[in-house]
Amino acid sequence: MKDRKLRQLLSMLPEEEEIARRAARARRRALARLEEPEPARRGWRWAPAAALTVLLVASAAWVSRAWRVDPLVWTPPAPRIASVPAAPLAPAPAPAVRKASRRAAPGPRQERLEMHLVLSDGTRVLWTFDRKFTL
C-alpha cells in the first residue's frame, strides 16, 4: 500500500507537452552544437601535469648524476703484512717470591709505552707514549 502510493507519486512527471517541448529543444541544441567544431580535447587539460612530471623526472635524473661519486682513478696497493721475527720472545723473569700480603700488590709501574709499526711500504714508525698516554 505504502509502496504503491510512493510509486504512484514518483511516477509523476511534468506535463506531457512540456516534456516533449524541452526534450525536442535539447535535441535541436545538441544537433546544432554537433555542427560546431569540437572544443579542445580533454587530454589537453592534463598537459600541464604531464609537463611537470617530465620536468620532475629530468630533474631527478640530473640530480642523481651530479651527486654520484666517481670511482677512484688511483688504486692503492694492497696491504702487506710485515714479517714477524722468528726468534721467540725472551721469557719474562720469574717474579720474586714474596710473602703474600693481605693487600693486593701494585703492578709494575710502566713509565712509557713504545709502539713499533712497520707499514706496507717498509716505513718504520715508532710511537712512544708516556704514563699519561701522551704521544
Return the CA Rg of the chain.
48
Least Å distance, CB 46 to other proteins, is: 17
Q: How far is CA 119 from CA 8, 81, 102, 124, 129, in A?
A: 103, 8, 47, 6, 19
DSSP letter, residue 15: -
For other proteins, give the closer residue by CB, 36 or 70: 36
Helical (H) or strand (E) element with 117: strand 113-118
Which range in 29-37, 76-84, 103-111, 121-129 contacts other proteins by CB under 8 A?
A: 29-37
39 touching other proteins, by CB under 8 A: no
46 touching other proteins, by CB under 8 A: no
78 touching other proteins, by CB under 8 A: no
12 touching other proteins, by CB under 8 A: yes
For residues 75 and 132, give the distance between their C-alpha atoms in angstroms, rounded to a whole number: 39
For residues 113 and 134, give the distance between their C-alpha atoms in angstroms, rounded to a whole number: 10
For other proteins, give the closer residue by CB, 20 or 61: 20
44 touching other proteins, by CB under 8 A: no
Q: Which residues bind other proteins (CB under 8 A)?
A: 1-3, 5-7, 9-15, 18-20, 22-27, 29-31, 33-34, 38
